[in-house]
């Protein structure tokens, strides 16, 4: 369960504080419910995911995580000067998996399908390759909730299929909080929906209603 | 964050220690292998620097500084000042260099600062040992310390000062990027008045006393005295002053880290 209470967030810009990206946002994500987040570009989807993931702090309000929550996959987490393998090792150590590094590395290497690039610096990767590595890295660890920032759109068609299969395997034991281009991926994995609009959050128990509300707002 | 029952819970200390270990290995790899010949340059830099200064001192016909051989005086001055200089500059840049890793909740900006300082001190110690051993065996320079404890306390003081200055600067640079330019400008006068390349004894009063306000002077003087008991230490040298400055800077730096933790993370 994740409890979000009276969350306010805005950023500091060179011209002073920005408008409120999120304004008085409250909702509860129950256990084992996967949520799709919808909203226009710049509506605050990534900001919300970063706040839920705990890598950014709200100006006011708080987020309570009563379960193990992944870092927002697809959002940073890779050191460009290190190779894919070194990044993966770093992650294992940070998460206290010093003992089973070989198994984790084997899983990540196999999942990401990077070939020889696994031992090349991450700065030489294309964005699709980075996405695949990040995807493999997060799936190598057991979390109750995975936060995915358009991670399903990484890579080519065959990788996307693999990613969606991996996501489907998670359903039941873990849940997802995700954003994605297009509602296809969301409908595949999520039951509930959040529509972000003008700094406000609208919670829908049924994802279809969230999609409808979102599409109405953009005039489709 | 409370954990679900099926997952083992780590204590906060265990998490921090594993983060430090991971960061230490990550920093070591980049420091020693990122640029071409990075490890070689680490050693070559102080040697070349010493050579250049030695040529200049030879041209102006200085053979002895404050009672010890000019080469010994230079080697200690240049290698020990870089303990401070490298630690400060590496710590100052740590947050920017590790920003992408803050995507993991466990990794805090202050972790990257402390780990970098530790690595830099460790590398500086190795560089000093290799450089001095080379000078002793190849050029018969008298660098075997008469009082190793004094040398070590000078080293430690300079390292702590670098850590403190770096901690303060890292916050300053993150919050006000323009501060980087000002800190860069400051480093020149700090070096010039530290007595690493310019013998302070050659400066007349009252300016000599003024230079003693630079805490680095005290660390270098004590290190030189530790190497050779014949060294004429500048009157007014006080190692305690260096340590006091270092601890004030570290305290201020850590306080700034706590105060601006959110801002550093958020940008």
- For the beta carbon of residue B189, count every other beta carbon within 10 angstroms: 10
Tens of pLDDT, residue by residue over B107-150, are: 999 999 999 999 999 999 999 999 999 889 998 888 888 899 99
DSSP structural state of residue A171? B
Alpha carbon distance B211, B229 (integer Å): 23
DSSP structural state of residue A19? -
Structure tokens at B244: 């006091």
With an 8 Å Cβ cutoff, are A86 and B26 in contact?
A: yes
Helices (H), chain A: 45-53, 84-94, 101-112, 127-139, 157-170, 183-189, 207-217
The helix, strand and coil proportions of chain A, stated in percent and rounded to the nearest 5, come to: 40, 25, 35
With an 8 Å Cβ cutoff, are B100 and A86 in contact?
A: no
- The answer to whether residue B2 scores a pLDDT higher than 70 is no
Strands of chain B, DSSP E: 64-65, 68-69
Question: Residue B14 burial by CB count (10 A; 0-12/13-18/19+): exposed, middle or buried?
Answer: exposed
Tens of pLDDT, residue by residue over B235-252, are: 888 999 999 999 999 999
CA distance B126 to chain A (A): 24
- The answer to whether residue B71 scores a pLDDT higher than 70 is yes
CA distance A5 to chain B (A): 15
Alpha carbon distance B43, A110 (integer Å): 40
Task: Using an 8 Å CB-CB cutoff, list chain B residues near A89.
Answer: 22, 25
Structure tokens at B176: 């006000």
Tens of pLDDT, residue by residue over B17-61, are: 999 999 999 999 988 887 778 888 888 888 898 889 888 888 887
> Strand pairing of A175-179 and A35-38?
parallel
Quick check: helix, strand or coil at residue A35? strand
Query: Mean of the per-residue pLDDT values for chain A?
Result: 85
Nearest partner of A193 among A177, A169, A175, A171, judged by Cα: A177
* Residue A168 forms contact with B (CB below 8 Å): no
DSSP structural state of residue A13? E
The Cα-based distances of B44 to B38, B50, B52 in angstroms read: 10, 10, 12
Quick check: helix, strand or coil at residue B190? helix
* Residue A96 forms contact with B (CB below 8 Å): yes
Evaluate whether A25 touches A39 at the Cβ level (below 8 Å).
no
Alpha carbon distance A112, A162 (integer Å): 10
DSSP structural state of residue A41? T
Task: Using an 8 Å CB-CB cutoff, list chain B residues near A12.
Answer: 263, 266-267
Question: Residue B54 burial by CB count (10 A; 0-12/13-18/19+): exposed, middle or buried?
Answer: middle
Q: ω before A17 within 30° of 0 (cis)? A: no
Sequence ranges of the domains in chain B:
12-266
Tens of pLDDT, residue by residue over A135-150, are: 888 888 888 898 887 6
Chain-centroid distance, C-alpha A207: 17
The partner residue sitting opposite B100, judged by closest CB among A65, A67, A79, is: A79
Task: Using an 8 Å CB-CB cutoff, list chain B residues near A53.
Answer: 103, 105
Q: Report chain B's terminal Cα–Cα distance, integer Å.
A: 24
Tens of pLDDT, residue by residue over B163-221, are: 999 999 999 999 888 999 999 999 889 988 898 888 888 888 888 888 899 999 999 99
Alpha carbon distance B15, B126 (integer Å): 29
Nearest CA in chain A to B266: A56
CB pairs under 8 A between A and B: 88
With an 8 Å Cβ cutoff, are B104 and A69 in contact?
A: no
Query: Per-residue pLDDT averaged across B2-8, rounded?
Result: 45
The Cα-based distances of B79 to B27, B39, B160, B196 in angstroms read: 21, 16, 15, 9
Q: ω before B187 within 30° of 0 (cis)? A: no
Of all residues in chain B, what percent carry a pLDDT higher than 90?
Answer: 49
Tens of pLDDT, residue by residue over B72-102, are: 898 999 999 999 999 999 999 999 899 888 8
Alpha carbon distance A50, A201 (integer Å): 15
With an 8 Å Cβ cutoff, are B30 and A67 in contact?
A: no
Nearest CA in chain A to B1: A65
Query: Mean of the per-residue pLDDT values for chain B?
Result: 88
Torsion of CA A6, A11, A17, A20, to 10 degrees: -40
- What local confidence, expressed as pLDDT, does residue B25 receive? 93
* Residue A169 forms contact with B (CB below 8 Å): no
- What local confidence, expressed as pLDDT, does residue A89 receive? 93
* Residue A12 forms contact with B (CB below 8 Å): yes
Of all residues in chain A, what percent carry a pLDDT higher than 70?
Answer: 95
The partner residue sitting opposite B104, judged by closest CB among A57, A71, A98, is: A71
Nearest CA in chain B to A64: B1
Query: Per-residue pLDDT averaged across A4-8, rounded?
Result: 88
Rg (CA), chain A: 18
Residue tagged 């049924």 (tokens): A206
Task: Using an 8 Å CB-CB cutoff, list chain B residues near A86.
Answer: 26, 29
DSSP structural state of residue A177? E
* Residue A207 forms contact with B (CB below 8 Å): no
- What local confidence, expressed as pLDDT, does residue A218 receive? 79
How large is the angle between the packed helices A84-94 and A127-139, nearest 10 degrees? 30
CA distance A4 to chain B (A): 13
- What local confidence, expressed as pLDDT, does residue B6 receive? 43
CA distance A59 to chain B (A): 9
Residue B65: left if φ>0, alpha if ψ -120 to 50, beta else—which one? beta
With an 8 Å Cβ cutoff, are B29 and A86 in contact?
A: yes
Tens of pLDDT, residue by residue over A91-126, are: 999 988 888 899 999 999 998 888 899 999 998 988
- The answer to whether residue B8 scores a pLDDT higher than 70 is no
Task: Using an 8 Å CB-CB cutoff, list chain A residues near B100.
Answer: 76-80
- The answer to whether residue A211 scores a pLDDT higher than 80 is yes
């Amino acid at each position: 369960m994740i409890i979000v209470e009276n969350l306010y967030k805005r950023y500091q810009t060179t011209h002073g504080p920005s408008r409120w990206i999120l304004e008085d946002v409250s909702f509860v994500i129950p256990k084992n419910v996967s949520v799709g987040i919808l909203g226009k570009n710049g509506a605050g989807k990534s900001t919300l995911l970063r706040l839920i993931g705990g890598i950014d702090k709200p100006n006011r309000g708080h987020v309570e995580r009563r379960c193990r929550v992944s870092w927002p996959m697809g959002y940073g987490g890779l050191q460009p000067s290190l190779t894919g393998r070194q990044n993966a090792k770093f992650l294992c150590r940070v998460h206290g998996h010093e003992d089973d590094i070989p198994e984790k590395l084997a899983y990540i290497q196999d999942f990401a399908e990077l070939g020889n690039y696994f031992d090349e610096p991450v700065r030489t990767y294309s964005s699709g390759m980075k996405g695949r590595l990040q995807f493999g890295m997060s799936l190598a660890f057991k979390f109750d909730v995975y936060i995915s920032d358009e991670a399903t759109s990484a890579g080519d068609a065959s990788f996307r299929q693999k990613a969606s299969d991996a996501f489907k395997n998670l359903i039941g034991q873990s849940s997802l909080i995700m954003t994605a281009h297009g509602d296809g991926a969301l409908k595949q994995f999520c039951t509930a929906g959040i529509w972000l609009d003008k700094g406000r959050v609208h919670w829908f128990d049924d994802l279809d209603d969230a999609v409808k509300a979102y599409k109405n707002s953009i005039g489709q | 964050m409370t954990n679900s029952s099926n997952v083992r819970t780590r204590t906060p200390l265990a998490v921090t220690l594993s983060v430090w270990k991971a960061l230490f290995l990550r920093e070591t790899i980049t420091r020693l292998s990122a640029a071409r010949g990075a490890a070689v340059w680490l050693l070559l830099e102080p040697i070349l620097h010493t050579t250049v200064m030695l040529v200049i001192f030879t041209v102006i016909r200085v053979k002895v500084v404050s009672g010890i051989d000019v080469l010994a005086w230079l080697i200690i001055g240049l290698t020990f000042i870089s303990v401070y200089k490298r630690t400060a500059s590496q710590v100052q840049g740590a947050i920017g260099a590790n920003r992408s890793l803050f995507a993991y909740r466990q990794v805090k900006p202050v972790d990257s600062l402390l780990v970098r300082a530790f690595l830099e001190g460790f590398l500086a110690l190795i560089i000093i040992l290799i450089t001095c051993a080379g000078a002793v065996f190849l050029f018969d320079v008298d660098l075997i310390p008469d009082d190793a404890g004094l040398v070590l306390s000078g080293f430690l003081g300079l390292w702590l000062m670098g850590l403190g200055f770096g901690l303060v600067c890292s916050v300053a640079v993150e919050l006000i990027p323009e501060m980087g330019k000002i800190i860069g400008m400051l480093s020149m006068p700090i070096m010039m008045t530290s007595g690493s390349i310019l013998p302070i004894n050659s400066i007349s009063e009252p300016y000599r006393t003024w230079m003693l306000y630079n805490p680095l002077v005290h660390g270098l003087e004590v290190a030189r005295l530790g190497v050779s008991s014949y060294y004429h230490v500048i009157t007014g040298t006080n190692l305690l002053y260096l340590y006091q400055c270092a601890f004030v800077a570290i305290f201020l730096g850590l306080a700034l880290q706590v105060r601006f933790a959110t801002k550093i993370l958020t940008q």
